[in-house]
């Protein structure tokens, strides 16, 4: 990892099962690793309806941002991976509701499957708060 890169740990959440950080702050940006809908205690929600998975996944994304001192308004790019293109309209509705006024650039990528049987995974890039506010 670059010398000035800072791994982001999420207080109260289980550490990742793999060899990665939930997020990394570097060069005025916050890079959020792909988030699934696992609960902070590590239990899975893959058996829950798509809508519940989306809400938990976005909550996990926001938790990483909060741990870095940021919020959804600091997001500059979001990528969502959805199992089944038919889920796109439901994803859009929940995403718009939860994001509110935040409108980062976004890509939605239909995929055939995700780890643990999840139906959605989201990664993101955000401006560090001090960068977003000009200082």
| Residue that the structure tokens 């909550």 belong to | 59
CA dihedral 35, 90, 29, 41 (to 10 degrees): -30
pLDDT digits (tens, 9 = 90+) for 60-89: 999 999 999 999 999 999 999 999 999 999
Q: How many whole angstroms separate alpha carbon 63 and alpha carbon 15?
A: 13
Burial class (CB in 10 A: 0-12, 13-18, 19+), 1: exposed
Q: How many whole angstroms separate alpha carbon 77 and alpha carbon 44?
A: 26
pTM of the model: 0.93
Look up the domain containing 91 and give its range.
6-132
> Which CATH number fits the domain that encloses residue 97?
3.30.1330.40
pLDDT at 133: 55
**Among residues of the chain, what percentage have pLDDT more than 90?**
87
Has residue 11 been placed in a domain?
yes
Q: How many whole angstroms separate alpha carbon 29 and alpha carbon 62?
A: 15
Has residue 97 been placed in a domain?
yes
Q: How many domains does the chain have?
A: 1
Tokens encoding 86: 């038919």
Has residue 1 been placed in a domain?
no
């Amino acid at each position: 990892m670059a010398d000035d890169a800072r791994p982001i740990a999420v207080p109260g959440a289980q550490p990742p099962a793999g060899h990665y950080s939930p997020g990394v702050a570097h060069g005025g940006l916050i890079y959020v690793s792909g988030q699934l809908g696992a609960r902070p205690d590590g239990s899975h929600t893959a058996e829950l309806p798509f809508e519940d998975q989306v809400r938990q996944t976005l909550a996990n994304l926001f938790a990483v941002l909060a741990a870095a001192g940021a919020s959804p308004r600091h997001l500059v790019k979001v990528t969502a991976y959805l199992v089944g293109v038919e889920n796109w309209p439901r994803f859009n509705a929940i995403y718009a509701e939860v994001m509110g006024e935040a409108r980062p650039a976004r890509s939605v990528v239909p995929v055939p499957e995700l780890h643990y049987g999840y139906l959605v995974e989201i990664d993101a890039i955000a401006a560090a708060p001090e960068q977003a506010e000009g200082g």
